[in-house]
Structure 1
């Protein structure tokens, strides 16, 4: 082999090494799924938006479930790739029975849950028929209010928290048992209940408004009301929504809010988590036109210290590269991991 041939062979060998996949690296799967709540909910709509901006190298599909209680075991086991769930539910499922809110925690213990990205806050409001005489949480004593929610425990905490803003508990109302959030709205429309609750701008509320006319009524957003809900359901806080800013909000209305989490499981492959996170990060501005719930879904909110479950290692690495990971976040990560050791 002459000198020129040797040089050419060396260049080809170096190129082959550079282009070869890293040792142990796996190709991206053809498809991944995002588990979330049933059609008609805000979570379902937001999951659709995430699937739209992340589909590319992988086909991203939505897998709906009745509620958090049914999908969390599947995420924990790795049967589901990703999930869009509220942060309070995920925190309770992650810690298991040792963490109780309102004297209960029926979520299946899910110690393998991991966070990819903190999303926007979700706003929840009390809902009545448009011609109801009820004006606020302070009018609800003795009224028929939807409750129990065995298939959708998150909504049990939603109503519990909204009642708590007014200093009320389940004992102060007449509980109308329903399985999940959509069933609660159906109970209101059918007249079996006088009050229910749902996320602002959910499709099911728009349907109910078109059918019989509904409106949101206020919780108590005073300093005392905010303090009561924070004590009742850690992770909840109050927020006032201006009239006309959401469907069925006919006047300035006090709601409760909590953070939406885009989560995965501990064994999720690093390259899959990174690919999904990068797709959302790079296309975050494309989310806002898709649904009002994306209004506060920002890069600045993605990584935070005040979260309820630990981040996936691939997410941490991504945020470190973006300069978005802090010492406080690292301390929170270690504290959260220690809860299930």
Structure 2
């Protein structure tokens, strides 16, 4: 028996008293397995609460395999050992075949969204509160952290700079070996910024330090700024953040940015009945689980971004059509994303069949070049190069 199988068999969620009035037309298996972030994460807690609901309402036992990193969370989905992953933004990187997925063992994955959560927190560049920064353009000439080996954090910082019309050439890049070390560097006045989640411990520590903290405003009315930001990192979206380190809250929100977390994804080939049943439960049983774990309110229908960067599962689209929550514009966007996945898969198959370099770095560079060329030929933004 594999370690994965033992882990899945060994983790059974607790149950709560049964609730009435379940969603109709739900067809779920007796046992449902998924991967998620570690046991102390918000994503894991949320999936536990959903598991309690499925157990009590539908008799489905949910087993969660916690993964310590993106690869460990997504490998079981890739191999078909689990049908679902409560992932982070790495699900987007996987669908694009970039960063850690620009590897001969990965490539672009046929990932489809079931649902996502947008909660009260945000994601962005935290800035020391003693240097007079109010918006991204004020970062010109300031010390900006760059984390070795962390493409996602650096890309997020680059996107925020782009909002202000800046690049890395317009700031003083300060390199750090890790995320936590960068925030230590802000407190000790070695740098001025760090990319993070607005409620994470490091920005809380910065807020309590003598330097204080500020979250630069990203005006949603600044269409040109947002266009520049999303050209670098299209998964960001405007968000009024009511949970953030520092002097921020419901009465004084940070007008900033976020992207979904967790992102509940499946493969395109995942059973239609499972996908449709899950989205039905998330939407129609919302009142039963919305207060069961921090962040669950983010799964409401109103919080779903219907034109994001990963296509929905076909059965999810079918459900939204049935309830009248689907437009021609959404369908056109969905079609473009599905076509993008098709182009990426065909390009990957062609590239890997062309006797590419065996060296890891050379393989990745060759793939990224082929990928960009194919997307540009189709009139699509490669985003990653």
Judge same fold: TM > 0.5, yes or no: yes
Shift of 1:117: 1.5
Distance 2:28 2:258 in 1: 39
> 1:39 and 1:210 mapped to 2: Cα distance?
27
Counterparts of 1:45 and 1:81 in 2: how far apart (Å)? 20
Q: After TM superposition, give the deviation of residue 52 of structure 1 in Å.
A: 0.8
* Contact 2:147–2:182 (CA under 8 A) maintained in structure 1: no
Counterpart in 1 of 2:228? 228
What are the within-5 Å matches in structure 2 for residues 1-341 of structure 1? Answer: 28=29, 30-36=31-37, 44-55=41-52, 56=55, 57-61=60-64, 63-66=66-69, 68=70, 71-85=73-87, 90-96=91-97, 107-108=101-102, 109-120=107-118, 123-129=122-128, 132-136=130-134, 137-148=136-147, 150-151=149-150, 153-171=151-169, 172-179=171-178, 181-182=179-180, 184-189=182-187, 192-206=190-204, 209=207, 214-221=212-219, 223=222, 224-239=224-239, 241=241, 246-250=244-248, 253-260=254-261, 261-286=263-288, 288-289=290-291, 293-302=295-304, 304=306, 306-341=307-342
Distance 1:237 1:300, change over 3 A: closer
Q: Are the structure 2 counterparts of residues 214 and 35 from structure 1 closer, same or farther at C-alpha, using a change threshold of 3 Å?
A: farther
Is the 2:276–2:316 contact (alpha carbons within 8 Å) kept by the matching residues of 1? Answer: yes
Matches of 1:184 and 1:288 in 2, distance apart? 35
Deviation, 1:80, is 5.0
Name structure 1 gaps, 5 residues minimum: 1-25, 98-104
In structure 2, C-alpha distance between the alignment counterparts of 1:320 and 1:138, rounded to whole Å: 42
Distance 1:126 1:326 in 2: 34
RMSD over equivalenced CA pairs, Å = 3.8
Q: Distance in 1 between matches of 2:254 and 2:189?
A: 23
* Cα 1:272/1:184, change in 2 over 3 Å: farther
SS of equivalent residue, structure 2 residue 266: strand
Q: Supply the distance in 2 between the matched residues of 1:287 and 1:134 (Cα, whole angstroms).
A: 42
* Distance in 2 between residues matched to 1:299 and 1:336, nearest whole Å: 21
- Any unmatched runs of 5+ in structure 2? 1-26, 343-385
SS of 2:131's equivalent in the other structure is: coil
Contact 1:75 1:83 in 2 (8 A): yes
Instruction: Give SS of 2:341's match.
Output: coil
Larger radius of gyration: 1
* Distance (Å, rounded) in 1 between the aligned partners of 2:195 and 2:143: 12
